[in-house]
Structure 1
Amino acid sequence: MAKEARISRIITVENITLQLEAPLAWQDIIAQTAPEEEPDLPDPRDMREQIIAELIDLLLPAEVIQHQGRLYTDLIFRERRAPTGLGHGIAVPHVRSEHVRDIAIGFGRTDYPIDWESPDGEPVDLFFIMVAPTYDDTIYNRLWPKMASILQYEQTRQALREAEKPGEIIAIIKSAEM
């Protein structure tokens, strides 16, 4: 019997408001939590959907999600159109949806990398989720390249894999941002 996927280290965001003239630094928009559960191996057919559902759950404390089930459907639809694996073990499920009030970003990591149809074929163990309202093109379009830029460095990716506390994740993002 397959077990549910559990993300081992997690960071979520609180409700954020960004101004185009003075966008907040990454460390200012990320709040942290750290569940103590160990990840279990999921059924391979359901792994991506389970990870996406868990990432959405991480965003619930931020109170930006208006309808969790519909946001899940939007993310799954987006993922089926074009998988969001970037390569180097990273996936960034992202969507603009009418079912969120504000932009939110979360981070998860699993000890059991899974296939995400990444361009390099590498399984994924690092996940960022980004959701934004449909009307928020500008901030969404500014954050997306920033995320990709930060994650392009092997040193950053390795540090994210080795971090033991959520606060370390924030420090890694902050140092990569400079």
Structure 2
Amino acid sequence: MEIMMTSGINVAMQGTTKSEILRELADLAVENGKVTDAAGFYKDLCLREDESTTGFGGGIAIPHAKSAFVSEVGVLVGRGANLVEWEAMDGQPVQCWICLLVPETGGQEHLRLLSQLSRKLVDPEFVGKLKTGTENEILALVQGVIS
């Protein structure tokens, strides 16, 4: 299966809190066949957030977790109209999320994806397209980074 698919992109996230967004992402992961249990994966995402924020800055967060509930590596993208407090590094709220799904044993893949995406998130053109693009544009944009 592909690491990322159009069905793993939701440009109409409804959540207004970090918890609500993480639940939406966990549900989306299950819908895409990448996670076996939404509640378990949600808990793992929350535990990772408790360690330190995944709020990158510039309105973007990269929630991620290595989890026993992840059946295969994946990337989801969410975007919403609501500005969500995320304790981001720049202190600004977040409205765009790139969620990394990594099996418990996928340490190297986790670091590779995180590194590749983090480097692109300092590119204003990349960030602009992520925040305004259609599902197909976002798919092409992110696949160009992670492939």
Q: TM-score range by the shorter chain?
A: 0.7 to 0.9
Q: Give the deviation of 1:88 after TM superposition.
A: 0.9
- The root-mean-square deviation of aligned C-alpha atoms, in Å, is 2.3
Please say which of residues 168-177 and 73-82 is displaced more in the overlay: 168-177
* Structure 1 pair 95–41 and aligned structure 2 pair: CA distance change class (3 A): closer
Structure 1 residues without counterparts, runs of 5 or longer: 1-14, 17-28
Q: Give the deviation of 1:64 after TM superposition.
A: 2.4
Letter in 1 for 2:112: R
For 1:111 and 1:70, the matched residues in 2 are separated by 27
1:83 lines up with 2:57 in the alignment = no
Q: Give the deviation of 1:35 after TM superposition.
A: 6.3
* Structure 1 pair 57–105 and aligned structure 2 pair: CA distance change class (3 A): same
- Alignment match, 2:82: 112
* Structure 1 pair 168–124 and aligned structure 2 pair: CA distance change class (3 A): same
Letter in 1 for 2:27: D
Q: Work out whether residues 150 and 177 of structure 1, in 8 Å CA contact, stay in contact via their aligned partners in 2.
A: no
Q: Work out whether residues 59 and 106 of structure 1, in 8 Å CA contact, stay in contact via their aligned partners in 2.
A: yes
Q: Give the deviation of 1:151 after TM superposition.
A: 1.6
Letter in 1 for 2:37: H
- Alignment match, 1:130: 100
* Structure 1 pair 99–177 and aligned structure 2 pair: CA distance change class (3 A): closer
For 2:34 and 2:48, the matched residues in 1 are separated by 19
Runs of 4 or more off by more than 3 Å in structure 1?
33-36, 38-42, 174-178
Letter in 2 for 1:158: G
- Alignment match, 1:173: 142
Structure 2 residues without counterparts, runs of 5 or longer: none
Q: Secondary structure at the match of 2:6?
A: strand
Kindly, what percent of the aligned residue pairs are identical?
A: 25
TM-score, scaled relative to structure 1 = 0.73
Higher radius of gyration, 1 or 2: 1
Q: How many residues align?
A: 146
- Alignment match, 2:131: 161
